[in-house]
Amino acid sequence: MYSEKVMDHFANPRNVGEIEDADGVGQVGNAKCGDIMKMYLKIEDGIIKDAKFKTFGCGAAVATSSMATELIIGKTIKEAEQITNKAVLEALDGLPPVKVHCSVLAEEAIAAALNDYKMKNGLDEDIRYQGCSGCCGSCGSREMHHEPEIDGDE
């Protein structure tokens, strides 16, 4: 059963669309369920002034994307980096266990868009996903997992 907040964000998603001149763009996906989230950020003086999303997926994926944008607008980059899937879950008053992965994708979409912004601006990359095994490639650090391994003997 979905909470009223989940149903509201699904039926009336906030911040849907693209930002043409986005400062950071991140796309993540989960091959197991088919959900794809793309997040766009407009950042001025270290503050997220606008966030928009496009999501292909189930109602929970749309709701978590919508809530994630609501949670980061007005926050500093550092504050936005601290937003976890648990924060998204709590803000939506929970999700059924089988849909929790949608909140993880929302967290990863935020991280991917922030990492894109940081790379474009020569800032340090977010290392939250440094220990990621790369099994799905959707944690926002795709480049790290798809570079060939360098053998010390070459």
> Under 8 Å CB-to-CB from 145, ≥6 apart: which residues?
132, 134, 137
Nearest to 52 by CA among 8, 76, 88, 17: 17
Q: Which two tokens stand for residue 82?
A: 């601290």
Q: What is the pTM of this model?
A: 0.79
- Strand 24-29 and strand 36-44: the pairing is antiparallel
Write the CA distances from 65 to 44, 56, 101, 146, integer angstroms: 22, 10, 12, 26
Q: Which CATH number fits domain 4-145: 3.90.1010.10, 3.90.1150.10, 3.40.50.2020, 3.40.50.720?
A: 3.90.1010.10
Q: Tens of pLDDT along 112-139?
A: 999 999 999 988 655 555 545 445 555 5
Between CA 77 and CA 138, with CA 58 as vertex, the angle to 5 degrees is 45
CA distance 126 to 12: 31
Our CA dihedral for 46, 68, 16, 111, rounded to 10 degrees, sits at 60
**Proportion of the chain above pLDDT 90, given as a percent:** 73
Report, as residue numbers or ranges, the catalytic residues: 33, 102
pLDDT at 104 over 80: yes
- Compute CA 1 distance to the chain's CA centroid, rounded to the nearest angstrom: 24
